[in-house]
């Protein structure tokens, strides 16, 4: 935190509703849902414009990413205990002898091991950072923090500093 500035956004529209279950060897939650709330904090240097960055871009990109998870079942594609198989237009997810078969369009396969708020926060951090880098929107940003809450009052936070980005 070189300059001490940070900006936060926890907007009503950075919410998504999704179904999931936590699974690891020997344990599986029943399928259930949450109304997730995402928050973003960026740390950085003040640009000549008087801003750390154009926050409109961050809000737009974050909303697009969050919308892709909305009203989906979140499945961790890198799970160490789920067998995931495409069957035509469906996805079959097997845990031990239990099997879910869902339409592919209802499922969001994510590159995570568990669909915990911690891993969702880290996934969203990477997606957001990648897309903002593609848009060259991170000049002056030194760190990004993404929080994900499954409900009011308890959030997992993933924070990482941004390496120097060639612009
Ligand atoms: Zn849950």
pLDDT of residue 164: 56
pLDDT of residue 4: 74
**Which CA distances in Å does 112 have to 76, 103, 120, 133?**
5, 20, 8, 21
pTM summary value: 0.90
| 118 Cα to the center of ligand 1, angstroms | 12
Average pLDDT over residues 135-156: 89
Find all residues with CB under 8 Å of 70, minimum gap 6, and list them.
Answer: 16, 17, 18
- Token pair belonging to 158: 């993933």
H helix or E strand, kind and range, residue 43:
strand 32-44
Q: Is the pLDDT of residue 48 over 90?
A: no
Query: Residue 86 is part of which domain span?
Result: 5-161
Whether 90 is covered by a domain: the verdict is yes
| 164 Cα to the center of ligand 1, angstroms | 36
| 34 Cα to the center of ligand 1, angstroms | 6
| 3 Cα to the center of ligand 1, angstroms | 37
| 90 Cα to the center of ligand 1, angstroms | 23
Closest CA to 72 of 46, 110, 42: 110
pLDDT of residue 119: 98
| 20 Cα to the center of ligand 1, angstroms | 6
| 142 Cα to the center of ligand 1, angstroms | 32
Helix axes 55-67, 117-134, angle to 10 degrees: 130
Domain count for the chain: 1
Q: Rounded to whole angstroms, how far apart are CA atoms 103 and 156?
A: 29
Whether 99 is covered by a domain: the verdict is yes
Confidence band (pLDDT; 50, 70, 90) for 47?
Answer: confident
Find all residues with CB under 8 Å of 129, minimum gap 6, and list them.
Answer: 138, 144, 160, 162
| 76 Cα to the center of ligand 1, angstroms | 13
| 36 Cα to the center of ligand 1, angstroms | 10
Whether 24 is covered by a domain: the verdict is yes
Q: What is the CATH number of the domain that holds 82?
A: 3.30.479.10
| 19 Cα to the center of ligand 1, angstroms | 8
Q: State percent of the chain over pLDDT 90.
A: 71
């Amino acid at each position: 935190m070189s300059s001490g500035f940070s900006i936060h956004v926890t907007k009503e529209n950075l919410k998504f509703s999704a179904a999931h279950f936590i699974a690891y060897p020997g344990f599986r939650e029943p399928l259930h849902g949450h109304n997730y709330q995402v928050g973003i904090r960026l740390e950085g240097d003040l640009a000549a414009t008087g801003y750390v960055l154009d926050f409109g871009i961050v809000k737009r990109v974050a909303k697009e990413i969050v919308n892709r998870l909305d009203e989906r079942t979140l499945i961790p594609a890198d799970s160490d205990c789920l067998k995931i198989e495409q069957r035509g237009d469906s996805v079959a997810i097997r845990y031990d002898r239990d099997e879910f078969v869902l339409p592919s369009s209802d499922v969001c396969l994510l590159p995570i091991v568990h669909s915990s708020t911690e891993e969702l926060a880290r996934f969203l951090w990477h997606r957001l950072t990648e897309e903002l880098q593609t848009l060259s929107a991170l000049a002056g940003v030194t760190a990004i923090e993404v929080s994900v809450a499954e409900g009011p009052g308890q959030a997992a936070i993933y924070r990482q500093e941004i390496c120097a980005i060639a612009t």
